[in-house]
Structure 1
Amino acid sequence: MTIIAAVDGSALGNPGPAGWAWYISDDQWACGGWPKATNNRGELQAVIELLRAVEDSGADVHVLCDSQYAINSITKWMTGWKKRGWKKANGSPVLNDDLMKQLDELMSAAKSAGRSITYEWVKGHANHRMNERADDLARAAAGAYQKGAKPDSGPGYSGEAANEPDTAGSGTAESSSSGTSSSEDRSTAASTTDTVRIWADVPRDLAGAIAERAREDGVRPQQYLRTLIEKAVAE
């Protein structure tokens, strides 16, 4: 099983009131923040909170992130920083080293447990549904701190594999569907028929192909898959 999640950070003023967020689905997300921090700290904290939330799931994790700083720090630079005692090649201290050390521990723990943690850069503000949701949540958290309040921290991770096929692609399949959210769609479906969710791991290229076919047909990937299943069972 692979959990696909989007993460994001936000800072109003940079530094200023700041927020972080991770998003798996409409019923599995979390956010938080600080009265004052930078956008980069929000990005890193979002990854930390996600990895902590799913640490006991036993699942692999694929992280969607629009911050190249966060991805490069974790996947390219961290090993060298650690070897040099958390110093850059020029000897200067690594920024946000407190968060980097936490990320190093979480990544090492996942590796020891045989779990894969992978990262994918996605372009921000480009109608990627999951990225947009994470961005909205992070900005809302920063906005709450700006007003002297604390944000709704969210439902967190329920331990279920809630990702749906379109989340592995660009996210445009979701945005091209009707205006109702996925949670509303599930509620509507449940009220009209006796339904059971079936989960299956599929390769990312296959998930992308499913999302593309659904876009071409003008339906949500879930509807496209249901049609395929109904045809296969009827044959």
Structure 2
Amino acid sequence: MTIIAAADGSALGNPGPAGWAWYIDDTSWHAGGWKNATNNRGELMAVLDLLRSTADSDDELKIYCDSQYVINALTKWMPGWKRKGWKKADGKEVLNKDLLASLDEALSGRTVEFEWVKGHNNHELNEAADDRARAAATAFQKGTSVPEGPGYVPAGTSTATADDDPADDPTEPVAQDDVSVEPVTAAAGPDTTVVSCRVPSSVADELVARAQARGIHPQEFLAELIGRSLETE
């Protein structure tokens, strides 16, 4: 079986408030972004998060992208950049090296096909990813909650309904300045338990910034913090 998805990025100002998203169907998609980034970073992050989210699947992956930069970078240019120590032919450092290095690792051992589609040309999956990436960028621009989506839900998986789980206690509402750091979509191994929590926006921004500085996913960084904290107790 092949997982078929579209990945897209959006930046309002380029650089500016930016979003990224991948989309399989209405029950399986994920979006996020930054307060300030470029469209290319959004395009790359959408693919990277899709790879990470589906890492435990044995299925092949087909990704529609409207960015020739992303496709060429991942299928043509990256081997040469790596040989030169992530330098271009002119000796300058490759842009977005952190994301590209993470993508190189995430692609290792995977069977992935990329196909270019023209943006804004009524391609159903591409349009859905674009809408969600733009919505994420707009949310960062306005300082509102980012519509992050359900994450990766394997085909055939039953999704929970409102009747399956008890609703949050309406007498204890979540503070408006509390937001999810990241939806829980990173691939979890057989010995891994997924935990989700809410933190103030300022804390979430700091976590994301520190993770980006290290070139890792915010969830990985948060897991490291929790692990170190438990070790010191």
TM-score normalised to structure 2 length: 0.66
Kindly state the Cα deviation for residue 89 of structure 1 after the two structures are TM-superposed. 1.2
Q: Which runs of 5+ in 2 are unaligned?
A: 158-233
Q: Runs ≥4 in structure 1, deviation > 6 angstroms?
A: none
Kindly state the Cα deviation for residue 62 of structure 1 after the two structures are TM-superposed. 0.4
Query: Which residue identity is paired with 1:145?
Result: F
Q: Using the alignment, how far apart are the partners of 1:116 and 1:148 within structure 2?
A: 38
What residue number does 1:10 align with? 10
Are 1:35 and 2:49 matched, yes or no?
no
Q: Using the alignment, how far apart are the partners of 1:154 and 1:30 within structure 2?
A: 5
48 and 139 in structure 1: CA distance in 2 versus 1, 3 angstrom threshold: same
Kindly state the Cα deviation for residue 161 of structure 1 after the two structures are TM-superposed. 6.2
Q: Choose the corresponding residue for 1:157, options 124, 134, 152.
A: 152
What residue number does 2:111 align with? 116
What residue number does 1:22 align with? 22
What residue number does 1:65 align with? 65
What residue number does 2:44 align with? 44
Q: Using the alignment, how far apart are the partners of 2:84 and 2:143 within structure 1?
A: 40
What residue number does 1:91 align with? 91
What residue number does 1:134 align with? 129
Q: Using the alignment, how far apart are the partners of 1:152 and 1:135 within structure 2?
A: 13
Retained in 2: the 8 A contact 1:3–1:161? no
Of the two, which has the highest radius of gyration?
Answer: 1
What residue number does 2:208 align with? none
Q: Using the alignment, how far apart are the partners of 2:134 and 2:89 within structure 1?
A: 34
Kindly state the Cα deviation for residue 28 of structure 1 after the two structures are TM-superposed. 0.4
| Aligned Cα root-mean-square deviation (Å) | 1.1
% same residue? 63
Query: Which residue identity is paired with 1:72?
Result: N
Query: Which residue identity is paired with 2:77?
Result: W
Kindly state the Cα deviation for residue 150 of structure 1 after the two structures are TM-superposed. 3.2
Q: Using the alignment, how far apart are the partners of 1:161 and 1:43 within structure 2?
A: 28
SS of 1:49's partner is helix
TM-score normalised to structure 1 length: 0.65
Q: Deviations over 1:75-110 (max 9, x none)?
A: 0000000011000011110000000000000111xx
